[in-house]
Amino acid sequence: MSAAPAQTSFSHVVRVDPPELAKPSGFAHAVRAEGTVSVHLSGQTALGADGRIVEGDIVVQFEQALTNLLTALRAAGGEPSDLVESTVYLLDIPGYQARGAEIGAVWRRLIGRSYPAMTGVGVTGLWQREALVEISGTAVLAPR
C-alpha cells in the first residue's frame, strides 16, 4: 500500500502530490477543485499597456506575461492562489531552463509558493513575433 499523497489546500482547491511520483518543484502533479466556478484564462504574452511586446529577455517577458495573466484573473474575480493549471509556451526551452532560478523568483514574488499543475511546451512561434513566452491557465474560484 502506498503512502497518502501530500496535499495542500486553499478551502476549495486541493493540490495533490502523490509520493509515488518525483517531488515537484515549481508545480503540482494534480489539482482537485471542489464546488467551484472555473475561469479559463487566454494565453498572455508580454504585451505592455501600449499593445507592444515589452523589450527584454525571457525573464522580463515572463514577468510581463504572468502579470497580464494575473490581471485577467483578478478581473474575473480570482486571486493568484486560485490558479490550478498553467501552460507556458516557449520559443527557447534551454534558455528558459538556464534562467529558471530567476523565473522562479518572479513566480514567487507575484504568486507565492502556490503552484498549479504546469506544462511547458516548446513552440516555433507565437502570435506576436517578438514574444518569447506565452502563459495560459485555468483557475477555480469558490462559489459566491
What is the domain-level CATH number for residue 57? 3.30.1330.40
Q: What is the pLDDT of residue 3?
A: 58
Structural domains in the chain (count): 1
Residue 57, in any domain of the structure: yes
Roughly how many angstroms between the first and final C-alpha of the chain, as a whole number? 39
Q: What is the pLDDT of residue 1?
A: 47
| Sign of the dihedral defined by the CA atoms of residues 39, 42, 48, 50, in that order | negative
Using DSSP, state whether 29 is helix, strand or coil. Answer: coil
Using DSSP, state whether 74 is helix, strand or coil. Answer: helix
Residue 26, in any domain of the structure: no
Q: Write down the residue that cell numbers 493568484 correspond to.
A: 80
Residue 101, in any domain of the structure: yes
Residue 1, in any domain of the structure: no
Q: Write down the residue that cell numbers 502533479 correspond to.
A: 29
pLDDT tens, the chain, 144 aa long: 455 555 555 567 777 777 877 787 777 777 777 777 888 888 999 999 898 999 999 999 999 999 999 999 999 888 999 999 999 999 999 999 999 999 999 999 999 998 899 999 999 999 999 999 999 999 988 877
Of the candidates 114, 121, 103, which has an alpha carbon nearest to the alpha carbon of residue 27?
114
Residue 126, in any domain of the structure: yes
Residue 16, in any domain of the structure: no
Q: What is the pLDDT of residue 57?
A: 97
Residue 110, in any domain of the structure: yes
Residue 76, in any domain of the structure: yes
Q: What is the pLDDT of residue 16?
A: 75
Q: What is the pLDDT of residue 11?
A: 63
